[in-house]
Amino acid sequence: MSDAMRLALVGATGLVGRHVVEACVGRRDLRLAAVARREMALPKGATMEMFVAEASHWGGVFEALRPRALICALGTTWKQAGEDEAAFRAVDYDLVLETARAAKAQGCDRMVVVSSVGADPHAKQFYLRVKGEVERELGRVGFHRLDILRPGLLRGDRGGDRRPAERLAIAASPLFNLLLHGKYAQYRAIEAETVAQACLALALKPARGRFAHSNSGIERAARSLPLPTAELD
């Protein structure tokens, strides 16, 4: 365990975050610590640390943990934010940036963040504009390596937190995926589990730089994730 990478995860209670936790079960190359504002049930066999604290105290948690890499799966929905722009920005922009800066201040040199397909600081749509703005600012924090994941529609169980139109889109996604080719392939639906595996694989990459990954890059990264050491024994 001494050679395992110390990895911090924020957004563990969300769709992608839960899959990151599950993907770490049985791994000896990663030492995962989840930082959240509320408790969550851990999967069977999980050997990880869980820190529950208000976001204003996360800097102190990072000081104790000294993570090498940070995975950020933070994000709210328009519905959860009460359809209020300020409330949405407080999570998807302010909290993401504050978390990144707090981790960087404690020596964290890598970050993997889940964004969205179509993120653009100049987008007309508010959601995509905020995602693009936070991507731009994260590039200025100073991480040695920054990986930005821009998945299409996420498939997975959110525990009922889906709008009817979104549930319909997910149900129809196998058909739509067949129709989306070329530059439109980035809008295909993708499994949250695949995104989580890509997060872990990219956190292990040593090369420096800023990298953005659409669906195809996310899928390649997920396939490159080494098997848990236990499976190789």
Q: What spatial distance separates the first Cα and last Cα of the chain, rounded to whole Å?
A: 15
What are the chain's domains?
5-225 (3.40.50.720)
Task: In whole angstroms, give the CA distance from residue 158 to residue 168.
Answer: 14
CA distance 74 to 76: 7
pLDDT digits (tens, 9 = 90+) for 82-121: 788 999 999 999 999 999 999 999 999 999 999 999 999 9
Interatomic CA distance for residues 112 and 198, integer angstroms: 9
Which residue, among 9, 68, 63, has the nearest Cα to 36 in the 3D structure? 9
What type of residue is 116?
Answer: S
User: Where do the H-state alpha helices sit in the chain?
Assistant: 15-23, 58-65, 85-89, 96-105, 126-138, 164-179, 192-203, 215-223, 229-232
CB 71 within 8 A of CB 7: yes
User: What is the pLDDT at residue 169?
Assistant: 47
pLDDT band for position 192 (cuts 50, 70, 90): very high
Confidence category of residue 181, pLDDT binned at 50, 70, 90: low
For residues 221 and 179, what is the distance between their CA atoms, to the nearest angstrom? 24
Residue pLDDT, tens place only, 19-72: 999 999 989 899 999 999 999 888 888 889 999 999 999 999 999 999 999 999
**Between 87 and 174, residue with greater pLDDT:** 87
| Residue 176 pLDDT | 52
Segment 186-195 shows an average pLDDT of 89
pTM: 0.87
Residue 149: strand pairing partners:
114, 213
